[in-house]
Chain A
Amino acid sequence: MANSLADQELLAAAARGDQAAFSQLYQRYRNRVYGFAYRMLGTQESAEDVTHEAFLLLIRQPERYQAERGSLLTFLCAVARNHIYQHLRHQERYAPEPVETSDEYEEAGVRYSFDPLNDLLERELAAVVEAALAKLPVAQREAVTLREYQELSYEEIATVIGEDTNVVKARLYRARQALAKRLAPYLNQETAPRA
């Protein structure tokens, strides 16, 4: 709450032209807004454009933020989300998901050789997780990104996406199930019982 009050005070000062106040707000939230945009869009240029647009609204129309409706981060993420979806529509990312080779093998009941240890040596875990995230449906990727990286509560996520918290729970559950399935070899490696 104290943070929220500080946000309002800084925003009021920024609206009066206080550059230091605005800079403080920007430094406080730029990484989280940019991270959200980057993980949703996957390119630096698009993420920068979205982040820029989000803060531009804060600069031009600070009165659009209403503290009683949520935190400033929630507001910024909601603004960013609108621009993210515009970019996604522009990029035509709503096309059907490409069929994954691994799932195809699994559905055919084929056991494929996979050595998690060797694969970990070849690729970093982060890259694998990022790839798995990128394959999630947009709504699930959005929910899990806002939760895991932007650290929003379920209620805040619901505010950002304009849905009920039960919808948030359901999307998070499906997203985690899909991620756990794709990352199973790595998760098993980490959680495998020691001999």
Chain B
Amino acid sequence: MNCQEINSQLGALLDRELEPAQASMMRSHLGQCIECQGELERLRALKTAMQSVESPAVSSRLDERVMAAFQLQHGRAGAISKVFSWRIWFHNSFAIPKPALALIGALLIGTATLAYKAGEITGMRLQVVTPPAPVYGQYAQPQAIEPVRVVYVKTSGGCSRPNSRPSAIHAQNRSGKPAGAQAAVSQFETQTYASEAGIDYTTRATLENFEPVKDAGVRVIKGGNQ
């Protein structure tokens, strides 16, 4: 081996990457060649100088990012930063077993149904009152009053009034249309029902003119076993 070939392998010799036989041959050459010895020392000095460079420090921010990624992958929200917390919550919200979800849903539906039936059976009066008419300001434009449908349902049973019968009275305020066959109810009954409903009845007995004027609101009455 000549000096040029030796020099090209000096780095591998320092890195201990040569076969034993090749390394032995190089050492025997280095024992006799001052120039190659100088080159070897230069490479040693280079490696030493390179080791003087300190390793860059890993920031805690990187640690947090990596560990958060691990926790996210395995569904743990414990120490994950707030940035990802909503994603974890969303992910975990589906972790409830499906049978449990079905049971909860069935219970909710059953409870709602029972409450609704109980209201009908006992004749509970449910009253829903729309908000009062807006007070028009100095510059406010009056708003058009939309037609409001008023429904009064009289259920059967428990009624002591003569000539009472299951009936449904539908009146459509300001519609101008006949309320249909069910509108053929006596003025007396209509007035009575209106009075019971807390509605001032001010017009004729025909239901097409049925006009609730009290509080300028609309009352929807359901039930009414009185």
Contact = CB atoms under 8 A, between A and B. Distances in A.
A129 B62 contact: no
A158 B218 CA distance: 85
B62 A30 contact: yes
A130 B54 CA distance: 10
Given A19-B74, A125-B49, A187 B56 contact: no
B50 A190 contact: no
Nearest to A125: B52
B67 A23 contact: yes
Contact of B41 (A52, A126, A191): A191
A111 interface: no
Contacts of B27: none
A172 B17 CA distance: 12
Interface in A42-80: 44, 47-48, 51-52, 55-56, 59-60
Interface in B19-63: 41-56, 58-59, 61-63
A contacts with B: majority SS:
helix
B213 to A, nearest CB: 70
Contacts of B163: none
B12 interface: yes
Interface stretch (A2-10, A101-109, A146-154): A146-154
B143 interface: no
A191 B76 contact: no
B59 A48 contact: yes
Contact of A187 (B11, B49, B59): B49
A190 B54 CA distance: 19
Interface stretch (A31-39, A82-90, A91-99): A31-39
Contact of B53 (A14, A30, A126): A126
Given A17-B74, A147-B15, A191 B45 contact: yes
Interface string B51-87: 1111110110111011101110110100000000000
A169 B17 CA distance: 10
Given A17-B74, A191-B41, A52 B62 contact: yes
Given A47-B56, A56-B69, A153-B17, 14 more contacts: A17-B74, A19-B67, A19-B74, A51-B62, A52-B65, A55-B66, A124-B52, A126-B54, A129-B49, A130-B53, A148-B50, A149-B53, A169-B11, A180-B43
23 contacts: A19-B67, A19-B70, A19-B76, A26-B66, A30-B62, A35-B55, A44-B59, A55-B69, A124-B52, A126-B53, A129-B49, A129-B53, A154-B15, A154-B17, A172-B12, A180-B42, A183-B46, A187-B42, A187-B49, A190-B45, A191-B41, A191-B42, A191-B45
